[in-house]
Amino acid sequence: MKLDMPLSLMAGIGPKRAEQFERLGLVTVGDLLDFYPRSYEDYGDVIAIGKVQPGKVTILAKPTTVTGRYVRRGLHVTEAVVADTSGELRVVWFNQPYRAAQIDTSKEYYFSGEYEFARGRYVLNNPQTELAANVDPNGSRITPVYKETKGLTSAFIGRALSSLMPLVDDLPETLPPELCKEYDLLARPAALRAIHAPMTKADYEAGRQRFGFEELLAVVVAAAMNKRENAALEAWHIPFDEAAAQAFAGSLPFKLTNAQRSAVWEIIKNLEAGTPMNRLLQGDVGSGKTVVAAMVAFMAAQAGYQTAFMAPTELLAAQHAATLDKLLTPHHLTVALLTGSVKPKARAPLLEAVASGAIAVTVGTHALIQPTVNFHSLGFVVIDEQHRFGVEQRRRLMDKSARMPHLLSMSATPIPRSLALTVYGELDVSILNELPPGRTPITTKIASPNSRAKVYEAADTAIEAGRQVYVVCPQIEPSAAVPGKGSAKTKAAPGGDDHKSVVQAFQKISGSLLKHRRVAMLHGAMNADQKAEIMAGFVAGEIDVLVSTTVIEVGVDVPNATIMIIENADHFGLAQLHQLRGRVGRGKEQSYCYLIPATSKAPSRRLRELEQSTDGFYLSEVDLELRGPGEVYGRAQHGQLDMRLARIGDVRFVERVQKAAQWLLNSTIDLNNYPELASRIERAKRVITLN
Ligand code: ADP
Ligand code: MG
């Protein structure tokens, strides 16, 4: 069997079939073998219709009627009544218009799905459907379920794969057999059979285990190699000047927390080591990361090196610049702000001052990576909210130094431990797990849309006492105003929806809910000047209520704001909600965060977890569990990492893979003999590298 053989050369696959396969991204035999099932159905577990209870069920039944229609634009419903000797039930499929034509009322099928109450009656919802005649009575009853496309069923894909199974023994092993033996992994042929043609649940689990291991191994080995390569580079030497460090700490209006002190200490050791620092500084919003960065920038300047400090938005960059300016000016260091909205007239002299070395710390947005920006002696790079930047953008900033500069990445999004061990395995990590003293923990409450008036009453009381309020909505304009969307005319659910957009919520709040208060709105469609003016007004206390999208970034610091109201809260991810919440609770006053879901249905797990916990690390674990590593790690980077089966949330599994990676790197095994693994590692190295 040749892995690069086109599928069209397989028996039973003509040009038309090949086209269907191509829609799933499958062109060659190798692609097909790599196309793992989404799930498995156990057709051995059939239940009589008369005995069906709500929940997951598999029935063996004959359809009596099948009809399909569009109930409205964008929503197609296929309905069938199916029967066995014990009774009949109703089956529905949504947006699978091809179903009706596929189903033959003279034949028996397995239907496997969720039996549930929906729209006023019980139905079997979107079941996996398999012609009974296709299920071999003597073979396995466990049937892999593959992603389907129009005209191409899971069953057909399964049959194509079955026909390949006798040939897989000839395929080369992609992992060193010694490693498979040491770590109890199936050999590749056995793993392919286990995953595509399992006899038992244990089979496919072992298959998934082997391929998941392989995926993660490549990433972990890549991280270890990056780390070794980085350690071989020579870096700028920034010696520890104890007197200067003490003078700086002594000049602060507060005492550093213990967490800040140990982070600074860890960094100092890196700067002296002679190899480039590659450290991630993690800490919840308000934990004092910027101060740590400022202190390091100060030490770099003492040694003659400039600092570049990149943040994802203008607002954040401006705020960091102001903070750093306050902290560094007393020490006679110049801080400059470089963003896209610096006018050409001001830009030229600014760029010159950066290039001449007159500016010690340049804070900015993506504007920093423009080719026109040159440094005199860039030695230290800080990247705030590093996951918001792509690998390429980070690299371009670092390339402005003649040597690999010291890098401090900062993140207010805590990374789950398992991710920190894997994709971030090449990083050193410092954690600020302690908030500066004098802060009162935020109280979080889920409030049904029916009780919205009460929430705004509470806000009104706080404003009366001199406090300020944030209201965050998921979008700028009402959905119907979005041009060019086919479904835009669809009437959205009534109720919560009139608070979904900033524009609507602003009208409601300034027109009725809090009409006697000073209300302003802020969103990404406004220009930078407008945004800056509104934000300045809020900072100065001239605005009571700020209605905004998520443009107000993590880290924006208005200690007088004590109420955060999040409208349509289910729209946001857990990590994002946690970050939004962090905009309040920055002063001494008790702060509140109200989560208002779109409907008064039972709130989601996300919202309930957020209501219960303020621990960013705990929430990050929950987030990982709910969304999977792809989303948590960051869309851009992860899209290029092949991690479909690796159970990255499972710390024990991750630790085993880590051991295997070390075992492999310390062994005499030549990776060149495993080109597939070697190229996976190469790819992963490029994707995860920070330097
Ligand atoms: P982060 O960047 O982690 O969100 P910041 O560095 O912006 O946090 O600090 C948040 C606020 O706390 C700032 O107003 C800062 O001046 C203040 N702060 C930082 N460290 C301390 C400390 N050790 N004690 C008191 N206040 C602090
Ligand atoms: Mg900050």
Could you report the per-residue pLDDT of 242-255, keeping only the tens digit for each?
999 999 999 999 99
- In which band, very low, low, confident or very high, does the pLDDT at 555 lie, cut at 50, 70 and 90? low
pLDDT at residue 600 greater than cutoff 60: yes
Ligand 1 close to Cβ of residue 579 (< 6 A): no
Q: How far apart are CA 328 and CA 488, in angstroms?
A: 51
- Listed residue (305, 338, 335, 340) closest to 322, CA to CA: 335
Coil, helix or strand at residue 343: coil
The radius of gyration computed from the CA coordinates of the chain, to the nearest angstrom, equals 29
In a domain, 419, yes or no: no
In a domain, 572, yes or no: yes
**Which residue type sits at 145?**
V
CATH code assigned at 44: 2.40.50.140
pLDDT of res. 495: 44
Q: Are residues 481 and 606 in the same domain?
A: yes
pLDDT at residue 333 greater than cutoff 80: yes
In this structure, the residue with its CA closest to atom 23 of ligand 1 is 256
More confident residue, 306 or 412: 306
More confident residue, 462 or 621: 462
Q: Which atom of ligand 1 is nearest to the CA of 554?
A: 4
More confident residue, 275 or 689: 275
256 CA to middle of ligand 1, Å?
Answer: 9
Q: How far apart are CA 175 and CA 475, in angstroms?
A: 48
Q: Are residues 347 and 457 in the same domain?
A: no
Q: Give me the helices (H) in 197-254, please.
A: 201-231, 242-251
Ligand 1 close to Cβ of residue 555 (< 6 A): yes
pLDDT of res. 327: 95
For the chain, report the end-to-end CA distance as a whole number of angstroms. Answer: 41
Domain boundary among 105, 121, 145: 145
Domain boundary among 613, 638, 672: 613
Task: Report residue 179 CA to chain centroid gap.
Answer: 31
Query: CB 463: neighbour CB atoms within 10 A?
Result: 19
Give the DSSP letter of residue 672: G
Ligand 1 close to Cβ of residue 478 (< 6 A): no
Q: Are residues 448 and 597 in the same domain?
A: yes
Ligand in closest contact with the CA of 256: 1
Q: How far apart are CA 474 and CA 461, in angstroms?
A: 25
In a domain, 27, yes or no: no
Q: What is the mean pLDDT of residues 589-608?
A: 92
Q: Are residues 368 and 474 in the same domain?
A: no
- Which residues hold their Cβ within 5 A of ligand 2, which is an ion? 290, 555
List the beta strands (DSSP E) in 568-671: 592-596
Ligand 1 close to Cβ of residue 360 (< 6 A): no
Task: Report residue 263 CA to chain centroid gap.
Answer: 26
pLDDT at residue 630 greater than cutoff 80: no
500 CA to middle of ligand 1, Å?
Answer: 32
Ligand 1 close to Cβ of residue 680 (< 6 A): no
pLDDT of res. 645: 84
List the beta strands (DSSP E) in 95-237: 109-118, 121-131, 142-145
More confident residue, 119 or 227: 227
Contact 79, 496 (CB under 8 A): no
Q: How far apart are CA 611 and CA 446, in angstroms?
A: 7
Q: Which atom of ligand 1 is nearest to the CA of 290?
A: 6
Q: How far apart are CA 379 and CA 361, in angstroms?
A: 11
Q: In 3-state terms, the chain is what percent helix, strand and coil (to 5)?
A: 45, 20, 35
Mean pLDDT lowest among 105-109, 412-416, 596-600: 412-416
Contact 401, 375 (CB under 8 A): yes
Residue 464: Cβ-neighbour burial (10 angstroms; 0-12, 13-18, 19+): exposed
Read off the tokens for 608: 């309930």
Number of separate domains in the chain:
3
Q: By residue range, what is the domain housing residue 489?
A: 443-613
In a domain, 420, yes or no: no
In a domain, 436, yes or no: no
User: Which neighbouring-strand residues pair with 457?
Assistant: none
- In which band, very low, low, confident or very high, does the pLDDT at 390 lie, cut at 50, 70 and 90? confident
Q: Are residues 468 and 404 in the same domain?
A: no
Which residue carries 């504007």 as its tokens? 367
Q: How far apart are CA 123 and CA 54, in angstroms?
A: 9
Q: Are residues 359 and 451 in the same domain?
A: no
Q: Are residues 357 and 489 in the same domain?
A: no
Q: Which atom of ligand 1 is nearest to the CA of 555?
A: 4
∠ CA 461-465-466, rounded to 5°: 120
Q: How far apart are CA 420 and CA 326, in angstroms?
A: 33
In a domain, 256, yes or no: yes
User: 320, 557, 560: which to mutate for ligand 1, most atoms within 8 A of CB?
Assistant: 557
Q: How far is CA 450 from CA 181, 453, 494, 597, 598, in A?
A: 60, 8, 12, 10, 10
435 CA to middle of ligand 1, Å?
Answer: 8
pLDDT of res. 461: 97
Q: Which residues fall within 8 angstroms of residue 136, CB to CB, at 6 or more apart?
A: none
pLDDT at residue 194 greater than cutoff 50: yes
Q: Are residues 407 and 448 in the same domain?
A: no
Ligand 1 close to Cβ of residue 259 (< 6 A): no
Q: How many CA atoms lie within 13 A of 9 on its CB side?
A: 10
**Each residue of 314-323: pLDDT tens digit?**
888 998 999 9
Pairing of strands 592-596, 443-446: parallel
- Listed residue (63, 44, 532) closest to 314, CA to CA: 532
pLDDT at residue 480 greater than cutoff 60: no
Q: Are residues 593 and 468 in the same domain?
A: yes
Q: How far apart are CA 607 and CA 652, in angstroms?
A: 28
409 CA to middle of ligand 2, Å?
Answer: 12
- In which band, very low, low, confident or very high, does the pLDDT at 490 lie, cut at 50, 70 and 90? very low
Q: How far apart are CA 322 and CA 4, in angstroms?
A: 58
In this structure, the residue with its CA closest to atom 6 of ligand 1 is 288
Read off the tokens for 199: 């006899």
Ligand 1 close to Cβ of residue 587 (< 6 A): no
Ligand 1 close to Cβ of residue 436 (< 6 A): yes
∠ CA 284-289-293, rounded to 5°: 160
Q: What is the mean pLDDT of residues 128-138?
A: 80
Q: How far apart are CA 35 and CA 160, in angstroms?
A: 12
431 CA to middle of ligand 2, Å?
Answer: 14
Contact 657, 216 (CB under 8 A): yes
User: 290, 433, 586, 591: which to mutate for ligand 1, most atoms within 8 A of CB?
Assistant: 290
More confident residue, 434 or 240: 240
Q: Order of strands, edge to edge, in the sheet holding 428-432?
A: 335-338, 361-364, 306-310, 378-384, 406-411, 278-283, 428-432
**Which residue type sits at 615?**
D
pLDDT of res. 492: 41
pLDDT of res. 690: 55
Ligand 1 close to Cβ of residue 295 (< 6 A): no
In a domain, 671, yes or no: no
Q: Are residues 401 and 466 in the same domain?
A: no
Q: What is the mean pLDDT of residues 201-209?
A: 94
Q: What is the mean pLDDT of residues 622-646?
A: 66
pLDDT at residue 446 greater than cutoff 90: yes
Q: Are residues 474 and 384 in the same domain?
A: no
Read off the tokens for 33: 């073998």
Q: What is the mean pLDDT of residues 27-54?
A: 91
- Listed residue (276, 236, 284, 278) closest to 260, CA to CA: 284
Output phi, psi for 257, to 5 deg: -75, 165
Q: How far apart are CA 45 and CA 40, in angstroms?
A: 12
Contact 479, 488 (CB under 8 A): yes
Residue 72: Cβ-neighbour burial (10 angstroms; 0-12, 13-18, 19+): exposed
Angle between helices 675-688 and 201-231 (to 10 degrees): 60
In a domain, 358, yes or no: yes
Query: CB 177: neighbour CB atoms within 10 A?
Result: 12
357: phi > 0 → left, psi -120 to 50 → alpha, else beta; which? left
Mean pLDDT lowest among 128-137, 419-428, 516-525, 666-675: 419-428
Task: Report residue 14 CA to chain centroid gap.
Answer: 40
Domain boundary among 613, 635, 664: 613
Ligand 1 close to Cβ of residue 198 (< 6 A): no
Of all residues in the chain, the percent with pLDDT exceeding 90 is 63
Q: How far apart are CA 152 and CA 19, in angstroms?
A: 10
pLDDT at residue 647 greater than cutoff 50: yes
pLDDT of res. 85: 94
pLDDT at residue 636 greater than cutoff 50: no
Q: Are residues 404 and 452 in the same domain?
A: no
Give the per-residue SS3 of 274-336: CCCCEEEEEECCCCCHHHHHHHHHHHHHHCCCEEEEECCCHHHHHHHHHHHHHHHHHHCCCEE
CATH code assigned at 573: 3.40.50.300
